[in-house]
Amino acid sequence: MFDHTMQEALHKATTMTRKNKNEFITLEHFLLCALDSDSVQSFFKDIAHIDINQLKIELKSFIKDNHKPIPRLSSQYNPEPTIGLHRSIERALKQAQAAGKNQISSLHVVLALFDEQESYALYLLEKNGLTPLVIMEHLSSQPDASSSASAAKSKDPLKMFCEDLNKKFKKGEVNPLIGREDELNRVVEVLSRKTKNNPLLVGDPGVGKTAIGQGLAEKSVEDKLPGDFKNLKVFELDLAALLAGSKYRGDFEARMKSLLSELKKVDNPLLLIDEIHTIVGAGTTSGSQVDFASLLKPSLSDPHLKVMGTTTYEEYRKHFAKDPALSRRFQAVFVEEPSSKECLKILRESKKNYESFHKVSIEDEALKECVDLSKKHLLDKKFPDKAFDLLDETCAHERTIKNNFTISAANVKTNLKRLYKISTDQVDKESSDIVLDLKEKLKADIYGQDKAIDELHSSILVAYSGLKIKDKPLGSFLFTGPTGVGKTELTKRLAENLNLPLIRFDMSEYMEKHSVSRLIGSPPGYVGHEEGGRLTDEVSKSPHSILLLDEIEKAHPDVINILLQVMDSGVLTDSIGKKTYFNNCILIMTSNSGAREADRGSMGIFEAPSSDFSDKAIKNFFTPEFINRLTSIVKFKSLDRTLLLKVVQKELQSLSDEVKTLGHTLEWTKEIEAWVLDKAYEKGMGARPFERFISKNIRTPIAEKLLKLKKPGSKNGSELSTLKLLLDKEGLKVK
């Protein structure tokens, strides 16, 4: 009856009248509110060329002066439209009815106003030069929104709510199905049953369930179906179209009924419902028990109408299995992901489609690479979806961004790296150089831990050469040793040199039993269940990385037990059930246990080698199954004086580099180095005291000097000056 502009205008007019405590909703109230809608405003501005603001001001002042508020409001106050407004609305409705339309907009009522002689609203409109002809012309030029809606009602429900897949296939809009013979045969078996011939395809997302449904249409059109299934007509249900626009109670049910009765008339129909778990609960109003699934149940038992559905395992469990009356009418057909060979075949068959769409040519090698790489690296997706994804993305990127017309295997590789941030360098030429040089580079940065670096390096060599054991992480190392000798530092350098992200967890944050839930997520029912765990999240974001767990001896034993799984099979399942794969990570744990014992030395006359003590301490702390799973325990030595001297030199060098960036140079003598070494040395504290010392006693005076130089009046600060570190009686000075 009324379209949305009309409803809005009436509603606003009522509200305004109520607010003003006016007696009636007059024509002036209505006109003022009708002017609020965008379509009316654009009409007045663009077509009638009338200043709306002026109109509104005059209307408002008229209402204020002439429609006074009621002095005594009764409790039953309910403003009604005036006779004139009633009349105008009726006139507009009658006119629409006579013209065969069933909806009026506020403009129609404005047009009808022209019959209300001597109304102020009309006076205002006419004063501004509006004629009914202008409105009539405008309204006639509007596209008819209502007619399409009403016309749709008379159309065939099959056309409205379903898509004829046979027709679609004949037009060539459906991708052909390749392979999947077994699944198709099983589906045809189910369809040949006497009763409950409704197959339900269940499988992981991306394995090809919908494709099988479409493949049935293809086979039917090509007459490749066995026996009685010639002329199988496949209709894909559009549930959204069925639900959309159901206005009143029973509308949805009526649509369903019409659809089902139409299907009965068809000879050999198959109704394909994608994502069939959505029908459970669809179309219910609150309180009503009758949803789509319940309405469908009786038809499911009818062997004439065959219904085929697709869903995933999880959705099946969550929604479908809860309704046993529904699930018993279906026969589950499990769809597994195709093998790599099959997937390659599928890719080959679809090559033409991708080539014509992206206007590129794809080499066969590229297809093979897609299959291989996605199998190796995209572990949480399934074939053929992931292979197609990779191929599609590669084509899109190469074509649009790089304007490349041939897709080769190398393109696929670079795109995998770019998209999923996975380095496939493990057998690349450039990366093998990096790995071979790694030893030297690390030794240049970390002093005195040559043995440790050697061990680490040999494991990495093995991993990167491709010889690594499949299911475990690239390497699981335990770094032990006194504090401040370079354990964390070595890990950082390793990450830098190998270009891998470093994921760091400080285990002192996980000292309690429940901290495990922070790493892998809390169990269902607990707060934060949906969020997953930090460890699984970080690693799934960057599957090629170095995972550093600092101070592992501080973690709760339960946390350490989680790691057992990781080190053995390289998989961690979080609370939601998602699996994270660690087999491209390097796992490094640092610990200080054994350090104290090693330092203490032995009792008795003969000095036992200190390494024995640390070994014993480690064996005492960590469980045997943990130690057993480690690739190796890398022991870090404490640093002696020569090494510490090197550390001092390195620190001073980095300080001088910083000063250089500010435009000055720093000079010092060997004397200074020795002095620092003596002053700052703390037994057993490793390299850290030197940092602290240099920071306190050298950095601060230099900073002072730099600021003094910057001051205007004294030497010009931008001049390159040399700062000399000098030692005199009082201590260090900077000049």
Residues in contact with another protein by the rule CB under 8 A: 23-24, 26-28, 66-67, 70-72, 82-85, 91, 94-95, 98-100, 114-120, 122-123, 126-127, 131-133
The minimum distance between CB 2 and another protein, in angstroms, equals: 19
Q: State whether residue 202 is helix, strand or coil.
A: strand
The minimum distance between CB 92 and another protein, in angstroms, equals: 10
Distance CA 100, CA 108 (A): 14
Q: How far is CA 186 from CA 7, 199, 208, 375, in A?
A: 56, 9, 15, 27
Q: State whether residue 112 is helix, strand or coil.
A: helix
Nearer to another protein, 66 or 620 (CB): 66
Distance CA 347, CA 371 (A): 9
The minimum distance between CB 113 and another protein, in angstroms, equals: 10
The helix or strand, by DSSP H or E, that contains position 635, with its residue range, turns out to be strand 632-635
DSSP β-ladder status, 585-591 and 632-635? unpaired
Nearer to another protein, 9 or 552 (CB): 9
The minimum distance between CB 37 and another protein, in angstroms, equals: 22
The minimum distance between CB 165 and another protein, in angstroms, equals: 41
With tokens 């036992």, the residue in question is 608
Nearer to another protein, 116 or 455 (CB): 116
Question: Of 238, 325, 305, whose CA–CA distance to 275 is shortest?
Answer: 238
Nearer to another protein, 110 or 648 (CB): 110
Nearer to another protein, 119 or 542 (CB): 119
Residue 46, token pair as written in the block: 């663009």
The minimum distance between CB 8 and another protein, in angstroms, equals: 22
Half-sphere exposure of 411 (CA within 13 A, CB side): 26
Distance CA 91, CA 304 (A): 53
Distance CA 12, CA 546 (A): 64
For CA atoms 96, 100, 102, 106, the dihedral sign is: negative
Q: State whether residue 494 is helix, strand or coil.
A: helix
Nearer to another protein, 114 or 613 (CB): 114
Nearer to another protein, 122 or 232 (CB): 122
Beta-carbon contacts of residue 335 (< 8 Å; ≥ 6 apart): 180, 183, 201, 202, 203, 207, 208, 209, 212
The minimum distance between CB 87 and another protein, in angstroms, equals: 9
The minimum distance between CB 5 and another protein, in angstroms, equals: 21
The minimum distance between CB 26 and another protein, in angstroms, equals: 5
Question: Of 585, 384, 316, 622, whose CA–CA distance to 472 is shortest?
Answer: 585
The minimum distance between CB 61 and another protein, in angstroms, equals: 13
Distance CA 37, CA 29 (A): 14
Nearer to another protein, 100 or 713 (CB): 100
Nearer to another protein, 119 or 197 (CB): 119
Beta-carbon contacts of residue 398 (< 8 Å; ≥ 6 apart): 360, 404, 407, 411, 415
Nearer to another protein, 137 or 506 (CB): 137
The minimum distance between CB 142 and another protein, in angstroms, equals: 15
SS3 content of the chain, % helix, strand, coil (to 5): 55, 10, 30
The minimum distance between CB 77 and another protein, in angstroms, equals: 12
Nearer to another protein, 133 or 410 (CB): 133
DSSP β-ladder status, 571-573 and 579-581? antiparallel
Distance CA 319, CA 308 (A): 17
Beta-carbon contacts of residue 405 (< 8 Å; ≥ 6 apart): 359, 360, 361, 399
Sheet strand arrangement including 665-667: 665-667, 722-727, 732-734
Nearer to another protein, 113 or 207 (CB): 113
